[in-house]
Amino acid sequence: MTQVSQFLAGERDYSLIKGGTGPLVYPAGHVYVYTALFKITNGGNDVFAAQVIFTALYLTTLALVMACYRRAEAPPYIFGLLILSKRLHSIYILRLFNDCWAMFFAFAAIYALQRKAWTIGSVLYSLALSIKMNVLLLLPALGMILLQALGRDRAIRQAIIIAQIQVVLALPFTLSGFARSYLAGAFEFTRAFFYKWTVNWRSVSAETFLSKGFSRSLLIGHVLTLLVFMSTRWNAPSGRSLTDLIVSVFERGPAVQLREARARAGVTPQFVLTTMFGANVIGILFARSLHYQFYSWFAWMTPFLLWRSGMHPLLLITTWAAQEWAWDVYPSTSTSSMVVVGILLLQVVRAWVGSGEDQMEALRRRSREEHDTVTAKKGK
């Protein structure tokens, strides 16, 4: 609220907007959301009003998540797990973090994509990104979905929409001559993390945690894992290798349009949810550091990913409970951190295994297409 008061007083230089928690390090959407809260809560003094708003936000986001689950045909028994997280209740109703707003728009975007409302999904995704840049973790999956659902030209238009919204929201800062400080503050990729706050890497030494080698290893692991999923799982609707899919971006003609139409049919609500959730959890697994409020990034994704992997219900519930326990341990310990990372790794591995059927169906579909093409040529 201190930062918002400076914005309302006319300050537009991001490097000079500071508060009790340090400098402003979130994009413009964050500023606008908390400006509205500042006015509604009398400068942040009416805490109860803020808690009522965040309670409504929690319930609305929960409803969105359940709607996403329903469109993906998730079984009813995992819905109950969505309302039982003690840590989520704390993040939303007591801590009032901006992560809650970012994830509201992120889940709304995913739901729009499931309904094939592509432009609405792109707008909502960009709004989520304008609040907190953790939503960038979803971008590889979003790109694969849009490319296969819309083809090159329409996918590029969606990318332009996402970028334009970021530009427009940043105008009060960039037009004031502070574009560089805005970009450096709102999208800072070199931010330092404190070992004392880490939830996921307490099991390594402080020296290792702070080393550049450790940071590079996580980045390399993240990129390689994304490439594995993009080339073996997220390309399922097209039935083409990642290389062929990239090459097809530069192709034109009736044959390309036919392939795009066939790929579009494979972008189902379940594929959208599996792909977006998977990309997010991959990014979180290799995150430089996780803080307690970051649990809101993926807690509601875990039940679906575990179910999608084919895990037995009893094992699924046990795994979910273990994750909840690990995130409720404060301060984090070596044991709780190992559980956090272990279950994230389990989700990623099981997501890859569980979505194998999608890939097999894609291969069968492509085989049928090639057979039909050969038959048609022989007929001529």
Contacts for 51 with CB less than 8 Å, ≥ 6 apart? 93, 94, 96
Q: How far apart are CA 309 and CA 322, in angstroms?
A: 17
pLDDT score, position 21: 78
Query: Per-residue pLDDT for the chain (380 aa), expressed as one digit of tens each?
Result: 889 999 999 999 999 999 887 889 999 999 999 999 999 999 999 999 999 999 999 999 999 999 999 999 999 999 999 999 999 999 999 999 999 999 999 999 999 999 999 999 999 999 999 999 999 999 999 999 999 999 888 999 999 999 999 999 999 999 999 999 999 999 988 777 889 999 999 999 999 999 999 999 999 999 999 999 999 999 989 888 888 888 777 776 665 666 666 777 889 999 999 999 999 999 999 999 999 999 999 999 999 999 999 999 999 999 999 999 999 999 999 999 999 999 999 999 988 988 776 666 665 655 565 555 555 556 55
What total number of domains does the chain contain? Answer: 1
Q: How far apart are CA 183 and CA 167, in angstroms?
A: 11
Q: Which two tokens stand for residue 17?
A: 């907007």
Residue 153 lies in a domain: yes
Residue 190 lies in a domain: no
**Domain range for residue 119?**
46-176+195-379
pLDDT score, position 254: 60
Query: End-to-end distance of the chain based on CA atoms, in angstroms?
Result: 72
Residue 35 lies in a domain: no
Residue 95 lies in a domain: yes
Residue 357 lies in a domain: yes
- pTM across the whole model: 0.93
Residue 184 lies in a domain: no
pLDDT score, position 375: 59
Residue 17 gets the label, from left (phi > 0), alpha (psi -120 to 50) or beta, of beta
Residue 203 lies in a domain: yes
pLDDT score, position 330: 95
Residue 7 lies in a domain: no
Contacts for 308 with CB less than 8 Å, ≥ 6 apart? 270, 274, 350, 351, 354, 355
Residue 160, class by beta-carbon neighbours within 10 Å (0-12 exposed, 13-18 middle, 19+ buried)? exposed
* 3-state DSSP helix/strand/coil % of the chain, to nearest 5: 75, 0, 25
Contact in structure between 226 and 140 (CB atoms under 8 Å): yes
